[in-house]
Structure 1
Amino acid sequence: MLYVELTAQGLVQGAIYALIALGLTLVYGLLRILHVAHAALFTLGAYVGVIVCNASGSLALGFAAGMVVAGVAGVAMFRLAYQPLLRQPPFVALIASIGLYIAAEEIFRIVFGAQGLSFTAPPLQGQIPVFGGMQFKVAELLMMLSTVAIIGVLGWLQTRTRIGVACQATVSDPQMAESFGITLLKVRDINFFVGSALAGFAGVWVALLNNLVEPTMGSVPSYKALAIIVLGGLGSVRGTLAAALVLGVVESFGTIYLGQLLDRNAIAFAFLILVLMVRPQGLFAKR
């Protein structure tokens, strides 16, 4: 029974990681940019979601507002910070991204305060009994279901739709794609908007599960998300889901058996380092 509970807890945590990492996967898959500032959009979406939900009493409106604001902010980041640097070596965009995230943390601290925000009446906190006497919050179950649904939709969009094929074409040969009528800027804007909106979506879920939003809430999850997209095979949506779930389960078991030696985050990073030493291309990378 203990193993079942630990696995279930790990899957919940892994679903959170997957939501955070999805946007990074989309951005890297298109532009080969390690988008560290994605964590700022995750935090921004959480703040907007909590504020709108508290003001309106509607969680759905909070989710919508958090996603839209994060999506628009992501496109602005791309246009202002990344687009001028696309012809530079990749580390230049990475440095710019780190700077953006540090600046965003300070802006959040100045605008919203250092103490953080909470829901005045947290929704979806009821417990649902599952097999074996286990109980989950309604929010946890809905978050896991939404993660699976989003993964499925993104996988379908990438392989079965015109915009998905256009995204893949702009990665392999941008000039050739443009000569066939694909507007590179439009494709990149859409990609950044969707990836950033997913970051905002994840931020609202994490705020709901923890009932807290603070300026630095994106720091550790963003580093784990970067490692997850490597484990999942860079740019692979399904690989990102699998790697995130594996990491969540490893963390869950590790806190029981290694908790006296290492904290949860140290266990996660130790596992990631070991895997990358053995298989640097990732667990789920294709040849």
Structure 2
Amino acid sequence: MKNWNLNKIGKSPLDKVGLIPRSINKIFEKFRKELDPNAEIEALEEFKISKYHTVASMKYILILIIAPIVVNQVTKSFFLGPIVDHIWNIEEPSVFLNESQEERAFAELQRFEEKLHFEILIGKIPEASYQMMNQQITHKALELAQEYSNESVNAIKNIISDIVSIITFLLIISTTKRQVSILKSFINQVIYGLSDTAKAFLIILFTDIFVGFHSPHGWEVVIEVMLRHLGLPESRDFIFIFISTFPVVLDTIFKYWIFRYLNKISPSAVATYHSMNE
């Protein structure tokens, strides 16, 4: 089975771009196959190849997703994580890694103090002495210190484990070139085998999510989550510069792909896209 698979691996619709539209080539190819006496055998062989590519691609995708995640969690929980905890407890560094954590902690402590005063004023809790209020605020401050200390040490663990996961992912890619070729062939068959309407729908969906007029809000949330995950300062200037440039670059690349490749392979899909987008 592997011998006839090697002849099909790596081939995609991009290799068939020519002067004659692809749809016309399909019509002539269909007639040729129907008149071929060996058409049934070839169809069975193509089905076997397609099945092999699909199964192999699904397995490989699962490996690419699961392997880095497992390595990340194992590294964080059992190997480098305990070492980071040990060094952190010995060194006793600052609670905060950056000013953004300080601002969030101070704002949370201020809200707690204001809430406490408010509940006393409305009689929700009995009027307390100044010393009792200070004790509650001190207790809250200690809780926040522990919470942000854990956030800081987890950020260091995340950086190390993420680097290990990326290295693992790259090693899998570099050592499984044959599987990569099969996966590329499978993806090309899936994408270019869709109907024109489905292609246009996916294009509009992708562009509206990532480069649409409402996408900056989503990018802002994603960047903030990533910065907190890595323990980096949440610079508003950096976030605004990123969301004002990266979607534009992404949109330019996507339009180039439509013009350079999709327009030659499936011009009817591009026409459908423009019609649906108007």
Same fold by TM-score greater than 0.5 = no
Select the structure that is richer in helix: 2
Larger Rg: 2
> What is the TM-score normalised by the length of structure 2?
0.26
> What is the TM-score normalised by the length of structure 1?
0.26
